[in-house]
A = this chain, B = another copy of it.
Amino acid sequence: MRESKIGLPKGIRPVRQQVKYGMDQSSTTQGPTGIVMMNLGGPKTLDDVRPFLLKLFEDREIIQLPAQRFLGPYIAKRRTKSVRQKYDEIGGGSPILAWTEEQGRGMCERLDKMSPETAPHKFYVAFRYVHPFSEDALRAMKADGIKRAVAFTQYPQFSCSTTGSSLNELWRAAKNVGLQNDFEWSVIDRWPTHPRFVEAMAETVKQGLEQFSEAERDDVLILFSAHSLPLDVINRGDAYPAEIGASTHEVMKRLDYSHEYVVSYQSDVGPVPWLGPSTEKVIESLGEKKRRNVLVVGIAFTSDHIETLHELDIEYGEVAHKAGITNFKRAPALNGLPVFQDALAEVVHEHLQAGEACSKQYGLRCPGCVNPQCRNILNPVEPYKRTNVSMSKDTKLYKAAS
Q: Which residues of B contact A386 (CB under 8 A)?
A: 289-291
| Residue of B whose beta carbon sits closest to that of A193 | B249
Looking at chain A, what size class is its interface with the partner chain? 35 or more
Asked whether, in the complex, the Cβ of B261 is within 8 Å of the Cβ of A388, the reply is no
Among candidates B260, B273, B361, residue contacting A261 with C-beta atoms closer than 8 Å: B361
Q: How far is the CB of A138 from chain B (nearest CB, A)?
A: 29
A391 within 8 A of B: no
Residues of B within 8 A of A368 (CB): 277, 281-282, 285
Please tell me if A363 contacts chain B, counting CB pairs below 8 Å: yes
What's the least CB distance linking A262 to chain B, in Å? 5
Contact A367 B242 (CB under 8 A): no
Residues of B within 8 A of A264 (CB): 237
Whose C-beta in chain B lies nearest to the C-beta of A224?
A: B242
Closest Cβ of chain B: how far from A255's Cβ, in Å? Answer: 10
A244 touches B (CB below 8 Å): yes
Asked if A54 is at the interface (CB within 8 A of a chain B CB), the reply is no
Q: Which B residues touch A257, using CB under 8 A? A: 359-361
Residue of B253, B289, B369 near A388 (CB, 8 A) is: B289
Q: Of A20-28, A78-86, A228-236, which binds chain B?
A: A228-236
Closest chain-B Cβ to A378's Cβ sits at a distance in Å of 20
**Does A351 interact with chain B (Cβ within 8 Å)?**
no
Decide if A242 touches B263 in the complex (CB within 8 Å): yes
Q: Is the CB of B193 within 8 A of A277?
A: no
Q: In the bound complex, what is the Cα–Cα distance between A384 and B278 (angstroms)?
A: 24
Chain B residues whose C-beta falls within 8 Å of the C-beta of A253 in the assembled complex? 193
Q: What's the nearest-Cβ distance from chain B to residue A2, in Å?
A: 7
Q: How far is the CB of A293 from chain B (nearest CB, A)?
A: 11
A276 within 8 A of B: yes
Q: B218 near A282 (CB under 8 angstroms)?
A: no
Distance (whole angstroms) from the CB of A243 to the closest CB of chain B = 7
A133 to B70, CA, bound (A): 63
What's the nearest-Cβ distance from chain B to residue A230, in Å?
Answer: 12
Query: Which residues of chain A from 236 to 255 have a CB within 8 Å of any chain B CB?
Result: 236-237, 239, 241-246, 248-250, 253
Quick check: B249 and A243 within 8 Å, CB to CB? yes
Residues of chain A whose beta carbon lies under 8 Å from any beta carbon of chain B: 1-2, 192-193, 218-219, 221, 231, 234-237, 239, 241-246, 248-250, 253, 257-264, 273, 276-278, 281-282, 285-286, 288-291, 359-361, 363-369, 386-388
- List 7 extra interface pairs beyond A243-B245, A259-B360, A277-B367, CB under 8 A: A236-B285, A237-B285, A241-B242, A273-B273, A282-B368, A289-B369, A289-B387
